[in-house]
Structure 1
Amino acid sequence: MTISRRNLAKGAAWAAPVVIATGTVPAYAASTCTAAARSAIDAAFEQVRTKAFTAYWAEVGSGFIDGSAHNAYFNINNNTQYDLQFTSTQALKITFFAVAANGSTTLPNGPSSVSAARGTISPITTSTYNGKQARSWTWNTTGFVLPRNKAGNDSEFDMGIATGINGTTGGLNVCARLDQAPVITPSFASIKASNSAVTDMCLDYYNAKVATAQPAIIPFAGPLLSGAGATWNRDGSINTLCGGSTAWTVGSTICSATTGNYNAVPYPPGCGTGQGYNGIF
């Protein structure tokens, strides 16, 4: 969504002869964006750049057998109090490679289909990954608004895969390569809603921040990872996922069998051991 620049009105006092001060506040003085407001806008952009997202795999339940036909989901959650605008100039772009989970070079049977409510999915093609035959596709997300973390909001966007039957390859190990990190910006309305110091007089300052916004940092979480648990804020609540997290940098690939997957039924998503949590679908 493109936000048009506000034209600041110039007070008529500028065209009038100079008059001895009478106590009246000049028009330009009332139309400034305060230091407190600018600081709040700066903080919102920095939070969105560094802490907005958590990426993870999940299944709806924990009783799925590796290689059986079921659905698995790749999720990215908006952890902030801001509505996030995905710019049309730099999208989130991820390429996925589904390989045999048993380590063989055999081409897996699935996934049979891939879908997403937001963004576009390329057709599934045959390729290779680390010397193994793979089925691959790309998810490109841009040009939409992801709602803030608030009760009743759908503040997560996900991609679902129908795994197909993959018993001969021990299931699917799905590897995600971050091809391009997205440039995202907090909406001006949601910044105003979270900080009363920010007014319409700050729109020019906000637009300048939009023009220089930097790509977002996306950590990858999973029950098999070590380190600090990742943030998972949803429906107005603030949570930390079980398991750990790792950095996901542009050009790097992280596989589901390395991270494991969560059970999406508990709230927040839960951890476990064995099939159903091992990131093999």
Structure 2
Amino acid sequence: MGGCGALDSEKRRYFLNQLKEARMEALKDSEGYQKVLHVIERMGSCLLGKIRTLHKYGDKIRELAARSPYAEEIPEIHPAWHTPFSVLYELVKQARNDAMHQGVVARQLTHNLVVMALILEDAMKVNDNGARISDIMVRNIVTAEMWHPVSFVRQQMLINSFTYLPLFDGSEWKVLSDHAVARYLFNCSNSERKKRLIQTIAQAKSNGLSLDDGLVVRLVNGSDTKHANLINIDGEPVELSNLVNQSEGRPILVTAEDNKRLVGLITPFDML
């Protein structure tokens, strides 16, 4: 990606999503630093306009990170709780050149890169024109299907630490919560639990599994850059800030114009 120069809104959205995905992969593997590191290196190459080393990318990446108060300001006020981005960058640079990328070294490198990714994500969310849904929403969405067995849905929730899974019940979007699944499987005998795990979501729904209404908005004309293009399913425009207030902890489901294809998901976790 050499020759990119400064990050415009399109490039910023691209790297923001790349960092999120890489960070989530690293959280599943305490030694899985590679993906986050590679995204940061590609970002450095884009900012510098040429392929070089982490050392050469340093000034550009630190300049970008400085847009977030987590980079330097907050660590100055709370040094016991936060490490400055510049220090993290030096630690990562040193570990990157270390021949030993296993065990404690790899785990510490992964931790430092995850924290760096969080700071860079926060920096790229800082937008002089206000929050944009495309800067926040998750695009690679895991959904449940009415024909999926409860056993599989439960497993997906545990593997990915999901609180909600969206699903389309044939007419509208719903969300299935971990609380609903736990309640459905907990207060019953072992034999009954096995039967319920084998059931499809559709069968379980008929047997008492509760599905919650999703907070659904749709994109108009395929655009996802400004909140003016977010339309409630009843046809009224809606501001992103209003959506956050309305969500009350539920995920916000962003659909295409036909309201059947899910193109994005926003949870409180994504708004932190």
Higher relative contact order, structure no. (Cα contacts within 8 Å, ≥ 6 residues apart): 1
Structure with larger Rg: 1
By percentage of residues, which structure has more helix? Answer: 2
Fold equivalence (TM over 0.5): no
By percentage of residues, which structure has more strand? Answer: 1
Q: TM-score, length-normalised on structure 2?
A: 0.21
